[in-house]
Structures are given as structure tokens and as C-alpha cells.
Amino acid sequence: MPPHQGHLALWRFALQQCDTLTILVESRPDEPISAEQRKKWIEEEMSYHWANKSALKIEVLYGNHPQSPEEHPEFWNYWKEILGPYADKATHLFASDDYGKPLSAHLNLEWVPFQRHTIPTSATQLRQNPWQAWPYWLDSVKKDCAKRIVLIGPESTGKSTAGLKLSQHYETPLIPEYAEYWIKRKGISTQNLQYSDYDQFLKGQKASRLSMATRANRLYFEDSNALTTALYEEITFGQIRNQTLHLAKQDAPDALLVFSPQNAPWRVDIHRLSEEPNRKEFFEKVLNFSKQNWPKTKIEIVDSPTWEQREQQAIDHVDTWSKEWSQAPFLEWAHSLKHQSSTTNPLETPKAPTKPR
């Protein structure tokens, strides 16, 4: 399971009291998320909490190791051999659970207990009800596991206004369309865009999402994505580059609100073409592409006759999805995180102890 605020509190507690801290991440076959992914989350989170005097090391323990004395007749000696190389370089063991006392005795380390129950969460709670336990997730985990809802559609269909309404209603971020900001700040005419601009649209949109998604309240909204960039690249140059198309296929959100041009009058502004483009064709391309390339994405159309009704229609769709997500186990929340780790190190196969050390 993912690291949570209880773990973070323990690590920060330890950092204040040692010169070098080693965090061990166990790789087990029954874990839905790889040890490498969990290590990455820890590295990202701890980068904000390093004490100047401390050196931080994060190591992965490969192997299918016993988790309780009932699983192995020489349980403590088993772990003494596994952890021996780390213990030989250490003086203290920081642990909040009861195993800290016997384990430290076998490793000849001083146990430093931590009162973690002041943060009322556990891996079990995260696993059983990730929706309710959300406040205790690490920001680095939230960024990757929050439900991402993309708003997409042709111009002048109300998606940007609806996005602001959704953000306020659910008290969660709206990632704005980076291309619009880039064009506005650079003072570039849409008729003079170059491929280099579209490259920046793709990079800027992704960077904006990753920088703001840590603030997500279980879900968040994004005004456009790589598919938007691909379709406008086609409008500008008459074709979509292979690399742009590849990125669009990979950029599948958890859910998609597609705004229809039906019942939506065309409105001209400084960043739009003076003549109305073929919005129906754009809309149909969005639907066809998303259905063909994003099979796991939930898709709903927003097509009510008034702007206010469109906003409510979008809220109703999100409410339906939220109810379903609130009852989903953590494994479904982390569906995009492939479990690529093995119980063995790809470079070296560990030897499990067969007798007391």
C-alpha cells in the first residue's frame, strides 16, 4: 500500500535525531503497487523535509519475506540476517509498532519508539476506504491517484466556465488550459503558431497538472489535455505529428466531460478565429478518439440548452462518478500504476536465511 501521513511523521521524527537515515521499502508479491513506485513517492515527499545535517537513503528489500512469527519458526533470526547489513551501519531503530522492541534487540540497536497514533490512519484504512482516508495520503501519492476529470470540446461551448463552477463546487483545483495562457502572455496570433509552440503546450499542460494535482480533493479538473493540443495542431498545420498523437493516446483521464456545440452559440473573442470553425467535426473527433484509445475512461456529454443547465449537468455527471469512486477499493484508484516490481532484485537474487545467524 502507499506511504501515508503516519509514515511521514515517523520519518520526520527520525530525521531530527540522526545524521543518516535509511528507509527500507519491502517488495512483496501481494502489494498492488510496486516497491519502485512507493520508493519514488517517498523520495519526492522527503525532498521537502530533509534536515540539512541528515543523509537520506531509501532501499528496497526484495523477496517474499514472512510478516509475523507465525509464518516462520525462526522469524526474528530470519529478519536479523536480512537486515544485518543495514544494522551493521546503524545505531538506532525508529519504529512505531510493537515489533520495534524485539527486532531492535535481535539487531543490537537502540529502539526509538514513535507515538504514531496521534495521526489516526493506517494502511488498512487506506485499503478499505481510500475516499474517507484521503486527508492522510501523502501529497506525492495524491498527485498520482486523484481522479482526473478532463473537460474538452470545441470553442464556445461553456467548458471553461463550467470548469470554474466545478472547481468551486468540489473545492478542488481546476488545471487551466496552458496553451491559452501561453498565447496570451506571449502575444502570439493563433495564425502564427509554430510546432515549437505546440511542443510547449504539451509540456506546459503536463507540468501544470503535476504541480497542482497535489492539492486535489480526491478528484480534480483539467481544462483540455494532449488530445486538445493534437486536434488544434491538425487545424493549424493540416496534420498531427506522430509524437503528438502518441502523447494524446497515452494521456487518458479517469473521466471525460465532452462539451457539445449543440445549443451553444458561437462567441468571438480575441483568442478565437473570426469565423466559426467546424465545431461539430471537432466534437465528433473527440468522441471517436476517446472511445477508441481510452477504453477505461468514463465519458459523458454536456449538451444542455443553457449555460446554467450545462453547469448543473456537468455536476450531475461528476456526482455519479464520485459516488462510484467513493466505494472503490484502493487498487481501482491506482489502476494506472502498473505493478512492475518483482519480489527479486533484477540484478541480484537475495538468499533467504535457512538457519539462525
CATH superfamily of 147-328: P-loop containing nucleotide triphosphate hydrolases (3.40.50.300)
pLDDT for 13-41, tens place per residue?
998 888 889 999 988 777 778 889 899 99
pLDDT for 292-320, tens place per residue?
999 999 999 999 999 999 999 999 999 99
Residue 342 has what DSSP assignment? -
How far is the C-alpha of 189 from the C-alpha of 187, rounded, in Å? 7
Handedness of CA 243, 247, 248, 249 (dihedral sign): positive
Please answer whether residues 290 and 299 qualify as being in contact, where contact means their C-beta atoms are separated by less than 8 angstroms: yes
How far is the C-alpha of 74 from the C-alpha of 354, rounded, in Å? 9
**pTM (2 decimals)?**
0.83
How far is the C-alpha of 254 from the C-alpha of 324, rounded, in Å? 12
Mean pLDDT of the chain: 85
| Residue in 295, 294, 265 with CA at minimum distance from that of residue 279 | 265
CATH 3.40.50.620 domain range(s) in the chain: 5-128
Compute CA distances 274 → 42, 191, 239, whole Å: 50, 11, 22
CATH code of 5-128, in short, is 3.40.50.620
pLDDT for 252-305, tens place per residue?
999 999 999 998 877 766 555 555 578 899 999 999 999 999 999 999 999 999
CATH 3.40.50.300 domain range(s) in the chain: 147-328
